[in-house]
Amino acid sequence: MQATAEQVLRSARRIVIKVGTSTVTGGDGQLRRERVQPIAQSIADLMKQGRQLVLVSSGAVGLGRGWLGLHQSRLDDLVTKQACAAVGQSLLMDTYKNLFSKWDVKIAQVLLTEDDFSNWQRYSNVRHTMEKLIGFGVLPIVNENDTVSTAELESVSPGTRSVAFSDNDRLAALVMSGLEADALVLLSNVDGLLRRTSVHEDKGEEVVPVVAEITPELRALAAGPSGAGRGGMRTKLEAAEIAMSCGGAAVIANGSSPDTIRRLFAGESVGTTFLPARRMRGKRRWIAYAADVRGRVVVDAGAHRAITRGKASLLASGIVRVENRFAPMDVVSIVDSEGREFARGIANCASEEAEKFSGKRSRQADGTGSAPVLVTRDNIVLMQKA
């Protein structure tokens, strides 16, 4: 029997809370202390209850822009955004240090880049460090290192390689996944996942209170980015899906209300709660969500059938063609003849070797031996259909 949203949040011991740009800063680039302070106090209260907390905070670019006196239009330049992040990050941490000191909460800054998630060893190192901080009773405050990484600051063009994260919603979900937290709370300027109450657009909207499965219909409700933020409901749904695959809950709620967090973990209905799904094993979650997908291979119908129905490994002979280059231990996207991704996996060999044995080439090769296993079954993850 599936637990209710109230039961899941009341019992959550390890929690990741993400606050968005619109919650932390205003349009003028100044700190919204009236919103941030109640969030800090709620986090401190949860820690006093014996719960373990991680805070993922946006806002560095906005604070840096305000401090430098730059107009919003100046942020069209990528390097300017990075400079603002460098200035704003220290302002953000100084603010949190002063706020949390009122409740004797020690903080630690954790700046991450996509490579910290794309590489399994670095991913493990980040996890171990944060586990140690939590063990010391410290509150890790996480953000992307925008000064050196551009993954969050710039748009990802269609057809480019998939990156580990491109906004703090996904970053927060990946932190939750790595730490195997019980709950992820995404605080933004929206009340939750909204749906129209009527076919007529002028009849208003209502919050979807509980979600047990992310369906294509729910994805259709998602909108694009808004305001100063870089995410949107689409990225929040992606983050919620990762949280659910961790066997945890996710909540999308409005960060402008001072008692949102308190009410959530007191068991009240606030925002939209996504209920836990079947837990995906740690390394499989990393392959599916955290890893930077470096390569892409198109496979024939036989390989597709063997992987999806027969739970087989992927032999290089089942590859029709290699569309993106990759090295051994890179994560590759496995697609069917129509270009639909149905699986991901860790490659055992480089793309050049896989090509040598692929399709017709493997049947024409003389004395080269049998085709190698490109991806072993244990390192293959089937991707859910949208």
What backbone torsions phi and psi does residue 341 show, to the nearest 5 degrees?
-70, 125
State whether 195 and 86 are in the same domain. yes
Residues 279 and 309 in one domain: no
Residue type, 147: T
Q: Are 253 and 356 within one domain?
A: no
How far is 291 from 296, CA to CA, in rounded Å? 13
Give the pLDDT confidence score for residue 110 in this predicted structure. Answer: 96
To which H or E segment does residue 143 belong? strand 139-144
**Residues with Cβ < 8 Å from 333, sequence gap 6 or more?**
162, 293, 295, 296, 297, 324, 341, 344
Co-location of 209 and 239 in the same domain: yes
SS3 16: strand
Per-residue pLDDT of the chain (386 residues; tens, 9 = 90+): 567 888 889 999 999 999 988 899 988 889 999 999 999 999 999 999 999 999 999 999 999 999 999 987 767 788 898 999 999 999 999 999 999 999 999 999 999 988 888 778 888 899 999 999 999 999 999 999 877 765 555 544 434 444 445 578 999 999 999 999 999 999 988 899 988 775 555 557 889 999 999 888 888 887 545 444 445 888 999 999 999 988 899 999 999 899 999 999 998 989 999 999 877 877 888 888 877 888 999 999 999 999 998 889 999 889 999 998 999 988 999 999 999 999 999 999 999 988 888 875 544 444 455 778 999 999 999 986 53
How many domains does the structure of the chain reveal? 2
The CATH number for 368's domain is 2.30.130.10
Q: Identify whether residues 368 and 274 lie together within a single domain.
A: no
pLDDT tens, 243-254?
Answer: 998 889 999 999
* Burial status of residue 76 (CB atoms within 10 A of its CB: 0-12, 13-18, 19 or more): exposed
Whether 127 and 259 map to the same domain: the answer is yes
Q: Provide the CATH number for the domain around residue 94.
A: 3.40.1160.10
The CA–CA distances, whole Å, from 247 to 183, 255, 276, 278 equal 9, 24, 5, 6
Structure confidence by residue, pLDDT tens digits, 151-172: 555 544 434 444 445 578 999 9
Q: Are residues 339 and 239 in the same domain?
A: no
Domain that holds residue 242: 5-285
Residues 236 and 299 in one domain: no
Instruction: Looking at the structure, tell me whether residues 250 and 350 fall in a common domain.
Output: no
